[in-house]
Structure 1
Amino acid sequence: MSPRLTRRARRSTLALLTGAALATLLSVTSATAAPLAGTTRGGVGTAAVADVWMKDHPDDVGLQPHSLNPIWESPDIKVCHTAVECAVSQNPIAGVRNYLFIKFRNNGPYAGPVVESGVIEVFRTPSSGGSAWPDDWVQIGWMAVPSYPGVTTVTIPWDDVPGPGHFCLVARWVSPNDPMTFQSPDIGVTVRNNNNIAWRNVDSVPLVAGGLVQTRPYTIGNALTRATRNSLVFSEVGAPLRTAGGRLVADLGPALYERWLAGGKAGKGIRDVGRNQIEIVDPAQASLDNLTLNPKEKLTLQLNFSATTVTKEPIAVRVTQIGPNSLGQERADLGGVRYDVTVGQRAG
């Protein structure tokens, strides 16, 4: 662990794990728990090589790298409002204690399932693509824990959640016998090439039919040291947004709107509605293209969701930043967010 992250970890310890609260704030469950007797690490005795991993995708089997997409919807990271694990990850509530449930496995393809001691660390950044690792990420907390053969779940409290409560999350396993072997300033490249780090960018958008617009921030970034041209690509999962009479408008703000104009107003499935706003007419296959970002630059836009019709069908819109990465690929997935949309009846 780098000195900077170590200092953060120590501060997190003082903030989260002081005194008798340790026993009640942190919990560990394991499907195949076993005693630590006979296991050694840190140069004492014979340390076995372990392969602890988390899923980037439901079909992930621990290979590094892999070609599964998207890699930023990890099923092994979950946010819940209580210390009892929820069925589906929830948006954190700002200003109060939430709980992080992190699932990891000690049965990876590169070593035998041996008991290993390590640390689970969790980080956050605003909902975005193109975030730089580790510079754009703030540590939420960490927990020292043994990893037994099988599947283990840890629970970490998350206090003082800043508003408005829309974040990307990263969890990673850190241990001397199972280190991250590939480092990149791109979080996506780092995650794809290390099976002991996982990334989750999922946001809920609860709408009321005919009700107020729900706004979600989205940041695009350039982790490289040269200017890059990027696209924002929209796609749908499940039922189309139009099933609920839905509308999606991206407010680019003055700076990003000027970049879009300078790039020739490039894109498809969109309509310029003025005042820096672009309507996403076809969320299933829309894009905003030729968006130039300066080195290490980040710009934030607002996504405005609304709907007119109640529906129980699952609706999700993915927004993905596509652009150059540190491996020299010019059209790489730099990260995105899946917005799970629900539309309910107006009260009264």
Structure 2
Amino acid sequence: MSSVGRRLRRAVWVGFVGAALTGLLAASAAAAPIGQGTDRAAAAARTDAYIKDVADDVGDQPHSFNPLWASPDIKVCPTAVECAVSQNPIVGATNYVFVKLRNPGPYGTGTSTGVLHLYRTTPGGGAVWPTHWTQIGAVSVVAAAGVTTVTIPWTGVPGPGHFCLLARWVSDSDPMTFEGPDISTNTRYNNNIAWRNVDSVQLTAGGGPVVRPFAIGNSLTVPSTNEVLFAAAEPLQEIGARVVVDLGPVLFERWRAGGGVGTGVRPIGRTQVEIVEPKWASLGNLRLNPGERLEFSLQFSAERASNRLWPFKVIQFGPDTSGTKVADLGGVQYQISSTLR
């Protein structure tokens, strides 16, 4: 593994994919050759509604906050009444996605009129825009000053019911600054775009494993080499938790061919590895073909119950189309709970 990769992983661990990663990714984003950005002098000629990427986001584009993929302004609820905390969608039922549009941002004034689009894809990183995204719905909106909460029905949710969600505000008076194949770059540079990959994992102490999908992808036109990081704020072993990664035959063979590079993991089967490091682990040197996106599975289980949530993040790092060699290409924050039978 390169020294850059080691430094990045260490920074992620120290800040739990937070403040310690901000400076590095901000510098990478600033160097991205994506045009001239937004001219504040032209603010009077346009409107500017935005969706928060993180709690402290005030609409600046680009910004340096991380992670980009846990927007607090996107929420999934089982009814048309907004719930307090976002939930996993119920398969086969009509769910409702609530998106908050905030007006104005720093680049315009006045009422903004447009269409809010909502998309889904398999949880994970490297989802190429627009190839890997499926539209859930779209709603025409007039966003006056303040916060406008937009409700988008989500009918016929397919199994297994775990998705990345992407909201895009499309308005003639509030244009995107840039859109390319990398969702991470698009999100950082456009306050019109927000991304949410948060999944609740409800375990039964002493029960069988709960499975979640995760995908990694390559938005480049050439092969790329990637790393998947597994990070816990606190050791999951405190609740007797076990995390097994089943790479499947294709990705497992790619990992073996790349030298079986990893930290804090051990092979336990023909295509599986177990996470054994209490706070962070990684699988490296994963080669992906141009435009390819491969799915694997995560198996969670726990021996003891707990009255709190245990955050666990899985993130793909690799090169993006801006030229950044070690970029956060997307991830998922799993909120793990464990209850008695």
Contact 1:119 1:145 in 2 (8 A): yes
Query: What residue is the counterpart of 1:107 in the other structure?
Result: 104
The amino acid across from 2:298 in the alignment is L
247, 254, 258: which is aligned to 1:252?
247
**Contact 2:128 2:182 survives alignment (8 Å):** yes
The match for 1:270 among 251, 265, 269 is 265
Kindly provide the amino acid, as one letter, of the partner of residue 157 in structure 1: P
Letter in 1 for 2:91: A
Partner of 1:241: 236
User: Displacement of 1:240 after TM fit?
Assistant: 2.7
Unmatched tracts of structure 2, length 5 or more: 1-43
Q: Which amino acid aligns with 1:75?
A: P
Matched, 1:181 2:177: yes
Which structure carries more helix by proportion?
Answer: 2
SS at match of 2:336: strand
Match of residue 322 from structure 1: 317
**RMSD over aligned Cα atoms:** 1.1
2:286 corresponding residue in structure 1: 291
Q: Secondary structure at the match of 2:185?
A: helix
Q: Deviations along 1:274-323, whole A, 9 cap, x unmatched?
A: 22111011252210000000011111111000000000122011000000
1:70 Cα shift? Answer: 0.5
Q: Is the 8 A contact 1:267 1:288 kept in 2?
A: yes
Q: Which has the larger radius of gyration?
A: 1
What SS does the aligned partner of 1:312 have? Answer: coil
Q: Please tell me whether the aligned partners of residues 98 and 159 of structure 1 are also in contact (alpha carbons under 8 angstroms).
A: yes
Deviation, structure 1 residue 233? 0.4
TM-score under structure 1 length normalisation: 0.84
Measured in 1, the distance between the counterparts of 2:263 and 2:47 equals 47
What whole-Å deviation, never above 9, does each CA across 1:115-160 have from its counterpart, x for those lacking one? 1211111000011210001111110001001001111101111101
Residues 283 and 317 of structure 1 are in contact (CA less than 8 Å); yes or no, is this contact kept in structure 2?
no
Q: Which residue in the other structure is 1:34 paired with?
A: none
**Alignment size in residue pairs:** 298
User: Paired residue for 1:54?
Assistant: 51
Name 2:208's counterpart in structure 1: 212
Does the aligned pair in 1 maintain the 2:75–2:86 contact within 8 Å? yes
**Equivalent in 48, 63, 74 of residue 71 of structure 2:** 74
Show structure 1 runs of 5+ residues with no match: 1-46
Q: Does 1:281 align with 2:279?
A: no
Q: Secondary structure at the match of 2:308?
A: strand
Q: Does the 8 Å CA contact 1:243/1:311 hold for their aligned counterparts? A: no
Secondary structure at the aligned position of 1:151 is classed as strand
Equivalent position SS for 1:145: strand
Q: State whether residues 237 and 278 of structure 2, in contact with CA within 8 Å, keep that contact through their aligned partners in structure 1.
A: no
- Please report the TM-score for the alignment, with normalisation by the length of structure 2: 0.86
Contact 1:234 1:283 in 2 (8 A): no
Match of 2:195, SS?
strand
